[in-house]
Amino acid sequence: MAIAASILLVASIGANIFYHKQSVNDQDMLVQALVENQSTEQKLQHIQEKWKLLQDPVIKTVTLAGVEQHPQLKAHVFWNTKTTDVYLSLENLPAAPKGKQYQLWAIVDGKPVDAGVFPLDKTDQVTIMHEIPAAQTFAITLETIGGYPTPDLTQLYVMGNT
């Protein structure tokens, strides 16, 4: 009788360990699914934001194409010509080197106007930049972190005319 009870006890402990491990595994899978779901929801929200901008009749879309040294690069500026709001959407700019950051410029009557620096880790989002009342061209350069009052044209990556 004692042997049978011992066998049942060992079997019960083994089953508990198995089901505990299975429960932990199931919880890990659930957490992973929740994280993936949040990521998908965020991507959908960003796509909806871009779509909303594209549908607005006062939004002017300016495609910034890669310059000669960077022909494969691209970005888009969504410029509200009524409110002067500027939104930036990146496609494929490379990561900035340490100590550097990208900066958006508006070219107004031949003179560069700082439109703001932006984080490169948010490439799937639309970033709100500085308001620009008028511009003939938009461009992106690579500058020191925090931006610079004048662009380093040797570090010009993309540009596009309005």
Annotate 20-73 with DSSP letters as a single string: HHHHHHHHHHHHHHHHHHHHHHHHHHHHHHHHHHHH-TTEEEEEEEE-TT-TT-
Q: What's the pLDDT at 138? A: 98
Between 130 and 58, whose confidence is greater? 130
pLDDT of the residue at 68: 96
Among the listed residues 84, 74, 140, 148, the one whose alpha carbon sits nearest the alpha carbon of residue 107: 140
Kindly report, residue by residue over 20-48, the tens digit of the pLDDT: 777 777 777 767 777 777 766 776 676 67
Give this prediction's pTM. 0.70
Q: What is the pLDDT of residue 23?
A: 73
List, as own/partner pairs, every contact residues 37-43 make where C-beta atoms lie below 8 angstroms and the sequence separation is at least 24, other chains included: 43/124
Amino acid at 52: K
Instruction: Return d(Cα 49, Cα 54) in angstroms, integer.
Output: 9
Q: pLDDT of 42-89, one tens digit each?
A: 766 766 776 776 677 889 999 999 999 999 999 999 999 899 999 999
The predicted pLDDT at position 116 comes to 97
